[in-house]
Structure 1
Amino acid sequence: MSTTIEISEKSDAGKAKAPMLVAPRDQGGWKKGMAIMDFVLRLGGIASALGAAAAMATADQILPFFTQFLQFEAGYDDFPTFQFFVVAMAFAGGYLVLSLPFSVVTIIRPHAVGARLLLIVLDTVFLTLAAAGGAASAAIVYLAHNGNDDSNWLAICSQFTDFCQATSGAVVSSFVAVVFFVVLVIVSALALQ
């Protein structure tokens, strides 16, 4: 006598599979790469913005005239535009330093939208500030190099060469910072897609 129990096999042929409601997420490969590029761009922006502010703030030259008691001096604080430039670039560089932790958050959590959205808004604000400071100072540097015959402004760079070189370098560095800001905005916009 046998004590076997027969079990019939169930067939899945008649059953339909439920559709997948949530698309599987990629592991954040390209978004993590964009976040790392964002961090590196911020480091480059810090160097160029703070370098521009430091170069302009230290731009100073004294020319003796006849005696030691009568001298001509050119300094950044003689021009309100250059003072605005130093403040604007220092704020832009300081913002980039303070934004580094948020950039690290986007590396750790590449799908975090809040941190990325905050960065893109603030990057746009400081892009505007850096561009305004750089453009205004570029106009003054142009006048220092070439003068303006219509308004009888003389070119001072033939006498104050060191001052003009320092201010010109600071303006170029500020436009490098502006390029970093533009690329940061583009990278953040692409990562938000």
Structure 2
Amino acid sequence: MKDAAVEAGEVSKGKVPRKGMKRGLSILDFVLRIFAGVATLASAVAMGTTQERLPFATQFVQFRAEFDDLPSFVFFVLANSIVCGYLVLSLILSIFHIVRTTAVKSRILLIILDVAMMSLVTAAASAAAAIVYIAHYGNPNANWFAICQQYNSFCERISGSLVGSFIAVAVFVILIIISAVSVSRQ
């Protein structure tokens, strides 16, 4: 009887729901890390396998467009690959936080690393987005012509790969907020 009263007192003071909320945030953190990892992996694979060849006058003379022709796209693939690897490795700490909800130092470490990885994927996605914009619209002032009228498949794939990368940026923002809330609840 006395144990039930103690448990009821703890529930009324908010200790049990707080631990449950921390565990819920940790589980959400784990799921979001998997989601961001899939998004960055899909972006890297989509961009890294993008190529298109167009015949010019004959079948022997062809124009080609490949992702590695542009350094911004190479940076995009490398950055998304690095961030995907980080997200896979960070799942270990995320599982640790599910089991041990009171860990603070490892959460602070994750916040710092998440900010660094978010910065990397944001820089890569932004650099690639600038090139994609030029590919779609060109720049008449610099005499750069839009190539997407000829290379439709190439442009669709590079545009699609940007979507996954920007989704990962948004997920990183949510992950950082979740980690900050978890640390502040200590």
TM-score with structure 1 setting the length = 0.86
1:108 lines up with 2:138 in the alignment = no
2:119 match: 128
SS state at 1:42 partner: helix
1:95 CA displacement:
0.3
* Residue matched to 1:30: 21
Letter in 2 for 1:164: C
Separation in 2, partners of 1:113, 1:179: 24
Q: Distance in 2 between matches of 1:67 and 1:80?
A: 29
Letter in 2 for 1:52: S
2:161 to 130, 147, 170: 170
Q: Tell me the CA shift for residue 119 of structure 1.
A: 0.8
Q: Could you say what secondary structure the match of 1:33 adopts?
A: helix
Give the one of 41, 47, 51 matched to 2:32.
41
User: Are residues 1:79 and 2:70 paired?
Assistant: yes
- After TM superposition, the structure 1 = structure 2 runs for residues 1-193 of structure 1, keeping only pairs within 5 Å, are 26-27=15-16, 28-193=19-184
SS of 1:154's partner is coil
In the alignment, the residues of structure 1 paired with residue 137 and residue 14 of structure 2 have an alpha-carbon distance, to the nearest angstrom, of 58
Letter in 2 for 1:63: L
Which has more radius of gyration? 1
**Alignment partners' CA distance in 2, 1:29 and 1:111:** 12
The CA deviation string for residues 79-130 of structure 1, in whole angstroms up to 9 with x for no partner, is: 0000000000000111000000100000000010121111111000000000
Distance 2:49 2:110 in 1: 31
| Superposition deviation, residue 26 in structure 1 | 2.6
Structure 1 Cα separation of the partners of residues 66 and 173 of structure 2: 30
Give the distance between the partners of 2:92 and 2:58, measured in 1 at CA. Answer: 55
Distance 1:57 1:51 in 2: 10
Shift of 1:25: 8.8
Secondary structure, aligned partner of 1:47: helix
CA distance in structure 2 between the partners assigned to 1:137 and 1:41 by the alignment: 24
4+ long deviations beyond 3 Å: none
How many correspondences in the alignment?
A: 170
Q: Runs of 5+ in structure 2 lacking a partner? A: 1-12
Does the CA-based 8 Å contact 1:105-1:115 persist in structure 2?
Answer: no
Percent identity over the alignment?
A: 48
**Any gaps of 5 or more consecutive residues in structure 1?**
1-23
